Structure 1
Amino acid sequence: MATTRKLKLFNDPIYGFIRIPSTDLFQLIAHPYFQRLRRISQMGLSYLVFPGAHHTRFHHALGRMHLMQQAIQLLRYKEVEITEEEANGLLIAILLHDIGHGPFSHAMEHSLVDGINHEHISLLFMQSLNQQFNGSLTSAIEIFKGTYPKKFLNQLVSSQLDMDRLDYLKRDSFYTGVAEGNINSERLITMLNVVDGQLVIEEKGIYSVEKFLIARRFMYWQVYLHKTGIVAEQLLIRVLKRARELAAQDVIIEGSDALLFFLKNTVKKDDFTQDILLKFSALDDIDILSALKKWQHHDDFIVSNLSSMILHRKLLEVKIKKKPIEPQKIAKQLRECALMYNLTEEEASYFVFTGTIENTAYNKDEENINILLGNTKIIDVAKASDHLNLKALSKTVTKYYICYPKKSVS
């Protein structure tokens, strides 16, 4: 009896069925390094603001791989040469693009490792997987790093209009319920083309690009830079900082083996061995949440209160201003906090702090989004657009915040 090959499918709420086109890709998805993404929140602690935002990095990775399949098919239809090896490399590169994220994604980017961003850790994971899969990720790594000869392949993976951004805006909009972020990713992909080795958008797609950039700006102000999400993430950063201080003082603090390793050791870029990568791969949101549940009962006032604030959403007051916070206001809040909790001002700084947030929807200093006018002329989208707001979107808007304890707790 003849046997038939079974299609590997995932049912996605955004795109419907997502097909896994090869056994090699399915084996990568099945690997423990990738399965860990099921336990890492796509939007950090944003679910404290948007209750539906519980989707994971796993969802997002499959979504952008699906969009990359569409982009490859479209570009081939337009007679852009993409070999089978290059197509496979593109799908692997976009699938593993964010595999290096730590717990709660961007919220803890530099809290557990010192000065190492998730892109670098993603590369380390890809190199490790390349050894395990007999060198089959070599092209994907070159595309990911931007060293592959065809520049447009890297632009599909990492640029100001890549498959990563096309998925996360649409997906995050869906799960948060913020309709302003919903973009037409299929329309944008349909408008893609390649000229002189560079990715471009055909002229009739300019309005879709404008909507994409405006949607990105809205999502940053309304969702990613929401003041409640900011204060929650800052509390998480500070509770880990305090836990690290306690561990350095040999104060007993509970946690998983993987979490305690990174709390008790300073791991820098040059220290990231294969053994440490394996320890990092054991970390996810569950390690942090289970630690917070234990730490809320710790004898240390700072670590217990910070943990309780996050777990029970009893967060600090946060004020956002257009100008830097006056030093006298910061000093006043520090004094009041120290008096309220019977702390030193240094200890009070865990509960009183300032920072900045920035929003740039389109960065003209980075790799541009180029519009193809007619069949020959290429021009930057900010110059091609007749939308006055698009030039404004190219400017970085900076705001300043201060966080401090609420004077009365309801």
Structure 2
Amino acid sequence: MTYKQEQLSEEKVFKDPVHRYVHVRDRVIWDLIATPEFQRLRRIKQLGTTNLTFHGAEHSRFNHSLGVYEIVRRIISVFEDRPHWNKEERLLCLCAALLHDLGHGPFSHSFEKVFKLDHEIFTQKIITGDTEINRVLEKVEKGFSQKVADVIAKTYQDKLVVSLISSQIDADRMDYLIRDAYFTGVSYGHFDMERIMRVMRPMEDQVVIKSTGMHAVEDYIMSRYQMYWQVYFHPVTRSAEVILSKILHRAKDLFEADDFTFKLEPTHFLSFFRGDVRLEEYLKLDESIVYYYFQAWQDEDDVILKDLCERFMNRRLFKYVEFNPNLQMKDWMELYTLFQQADINPEYYLVVDSSSDLPYDFYRPGEEEERLPIHLLMPDRSLKELSRHSDIVEAISGKKRTDHKLYFPKDRIEALTDQSLKKKIITILYGQGEVEDVR
């Protein structure tokens, strides 16, 4: 028996609050889970700063990755012996599902924005680079690691395999919606995942849904819509992300300044500050390390870095008001000047943050990010695009929603002794709507 075919002497299971059990029988999967690169995901939270809003959101990328693997394993069991399904792709699908988030860094997307990184590129580097992950994959067959990387990059020749991991209804989204809903304690993200898995069918280049399962898919899409606006884009979470980003920007600016010396040299951040991040350095940085620096930077001599770190560590977040950058840029420019007069550096303390989401889209050829639509398999074996058959999905299809907030330290403004200046700032802020309290 080859390594590719090798099975464990007995099935291993992980207890899971979402799927009850995650089942592992393949030696390759078991060995991948044991690698340092995969174990690192235990130290990366799935939802970044969301635990400052929903205190239960402490789950990790490790949890989620196992969950995506388990969903794909179950889908494949439904696909067995069906037309268009190539059994030879089974292990590739399982490995890609397990490893799809391998390249996430601490605080994920916030961290990526500051240092202009892409977690998918780092995922591919970990899979194809000098790592334990790569050595396990190459034992399957020469070039197998590149196949896994290609699936994650969405360039693999078998688009059916890609669609299991990355599409508008894939194992990744299904797991994170239900898992994030469970750990945040909200009810929005729940849908009948078992039903969806049972009505999935393999076609030549994508997974389609039996028309009898349409209502379960409608529920899934609405759950996704609600989770984005009630959890992922929650303004309190965004406030924490704003402060996190400003801490990293300030630390980078101080590193580049000639007249500042850190009491605690930011060794783990040096390559990130220089914009030349090697893979081994990337893998050494996790959220426990970042928290250590944030804790230590509260004792640095720079007042801005100290204040921002203290705010983040002790959850003294910025307040916010609704803000429309298309209509209120004059207000923002006036506030910028007033903040400077008040000695509140607007580069770090006056921040416009925007969020947008497209809950479902039909196919638009030639767009930068082409979204393959969800197709229903009708009783006559024809395919029908979901929004053409579902009034609910049609109502939100192609409709991009964007939300803007203006964040600022309300406590600093209230502490101003110049009453005239204070009144001007508050008048502009309150003129845009009631200031929301961050709790």
2:57 aligns with 53
Given that 2:84 and 2:203 are in contact with CA atoms closer than 8 Å, whether structure 1 keeps it comes out as no
Given that 1:333 and 1:404 are in contact with CA atoms closer than 8 Å, whether structure 2 keeps it comes out as no
Given that 2:126 and 2:134 are in contact with CA atoms closer than 8 Å, whether structure 1 keeps it comes out as no
Please report the RMSD computed on the Cα atoms of aligned residues, expressed in angstroms. Answer: 2.1
Q: Which runs of 5+ in 1 are unaligned?
A: none
In 1, Cα distance between equivalents of 2:44 and 2:246: 20
In 1, Cα distance between equivalents of 2:396 and 2:230: 18
In 2, Cα distance between equivalents of 1:370 and 1:8: 35
Secondary structure of 1:357 counterpart: strand
Q: CA deviation at 1:261?
A: 3.0
1:110 aligns with 113
Name which of structure 1's ranges 15-24 and 140-149 shifts more when overlaid on structure 2: 140-149
Given that 1:255 and 1:290 are in contact with CA atoms closer than 8 Å, whether structure 2 keeps it comes out as no
1:252 aligns with 261
Q: CA deviation at 1:111?
A: 2.1
Q: CA deviation at 1:255?
A: 5.3
**Quick check: 1:312 aligned with 2:314?**
yes
Q: Deviations over 1:240-290 (max 9, x none)?
A: 011011111252233553223322x113xxxx6xxx101100011112111
Name which of structure 1's ranges 356-365 and 28-37 shifts more when overlaid on structure 2: 356-365
Q: CA deviation at 1:198?
A: 2.6
Q: Deviations over 1:186-245 (max 9, x none)?
A: 111111112333321110111111111111110010000001111111111111011011
In 1, Cα distance between equivalents of 2:318 and 2:155: 45
Q: CA deviation at 1:335?
A: 3.6
In 2, Cα distance between equivalents of 1:11 and 1:98: 20
2:226 aligns with 218
Given that 1:325 and 1:400 are in contact with CA atoms closer than 8 Å, whether structure 2 keeps it comes out as no
In 2, Cα distance between equivalents of 1:149 and 1:334: 51
Name which of structure 1's ranges 389-398 and 360-369 shifts more when overlaid on structure 2: 389-398
Alignment of structure 1 residues 29-68 onto 2, 5 Å: 29-68=33-72
Q: CA deviation at 1:349?
A: 1.9
Q: Which amino acid aligns with 1:73?
A: S
Q: Which amino acid aligns with 2:121?
A: H
2:236 aligns with 228
Q: Deviations over 1:16-53 (max 9, x none)?
A: 12112211111111111111100001001001100000
1:363 pairs with one of 341, 361, 382: 361
Q: Which amino acid aligns with 1:190?
A: R
Name which of structure 1's ranges 196-205 and 214-223 shifts more when overlaid on structure 2: 196-205
Q: Which amino acid aligns with 1:227?
A: P
Given that 1:86 and 1:139 are in contact with CA atoms closer than 8 Å, whether structure 2 keeps it comes out as no
Q: Which amino acid aligns with 1:228?
A: V
**Quick check: 1:198 aligned with 2:202?**
no
Alignment of structure 1 residues 371-410 onto 2, 5 Å: 371-387=376-392, 390-406=394-410, 407-408=413-414
Q: Deviations over 1:61-109 (max 9, x none)?
A: 00000000001000115454332x4111001111111111110122212
Alignment of structure 1 residues 145-184 onto 2, 5 Å: 145-184=153-192
Q: Which amino acid aligns with 1:367?
A: L
Alignment of structure 1 residues 255-334 onto 2, 5 Å: 257-263=267-273, 265-267=274-276, 276-321=278-323, 324=326, 326-334=328-336
Q: Deviations over 1:304-336 (max 9, x none)?
A: 111111111111111234663512321343344
Name which of structure 1's ranges 227-236 and 130-139 shifts more when overlaid on structure 2: 130-139
1:209 pairs with one of 214, 217, 226: 217
Secondary structure of 2:348 counterpart: coil
In 2, Cα distance between equivalents of 1:321 and 1:393: 25
- Work out the number of aligned pairs and report it: 391
Given that 1:372 and 1:379 are in contact with CA atoms closer than 8 Å, whether structure 2 keeps it comes out as yes
Scaled by the length of structure 2, the TM-score of the pair is 0.84
Given that 2:177 and 2:224 are in contact with CA atoms closer than 8 Å, whether structure 1 keeps it comes out as yes
In 1, Cα distance between equivalents of 2:21 and 2:330: 57
Secondary structure of 2:352 counterpart: strand
**1:176–1:284 Cα change, 3 Å:** same
Name which of structure 1's ranges 54-63 and 378-387 shifts more when overlaid on structure 2: 378-387
Q: How much identity, in percent, do the aligned residues show?
A: 29
Secondary structure of 1:10 counterpart: strand
Name which of structure 1's ranges 70-79 and 140-149 shifts more when overlaid on structure 2: 140-149
Q: Which amino acid aligns with 1:350?
A: Y
Q: Which amino acid aligns with 1:278?
A: E
Name which of structure 1's ranges 227-236 and 390-399 shifts more when overlaid on structure 2: 390-399
1:348 aligns with 346
In 2, Cα distance between equivalents of 1:322 and 1:208: 36
**Quick check: 1:12 aligned with 2:20?**
no
Q: Deviations over 1:138-187 (max 9, x none)?
A: 43233323343321111001111110000000000000011111122111
**1:204–1:238 Cα change, 3 Å:** same
In 2, Cα distance between equivalents of 1:90 and 1:404: 46
In 2, Cα distance between equivalents of 1:321 and 1:331: 13
1:132 pairs with one of 130, 135, 151: 135
Secondary structure of 1:196 counterpart: coil
In 1, Cα distance between equivalents of 2:247 and 2:102: 24
Q: Which amino acid aligns with 2:72?
A: M
Name which of structure 1's ranges 175-184 and 218-227 shifts more when overlaid on structure 2: 175-184
**1:131–1:225 Cα change, 3 Å:** closer
In 1, Cα distance between equivalents of 2:317 and 2:34: 38
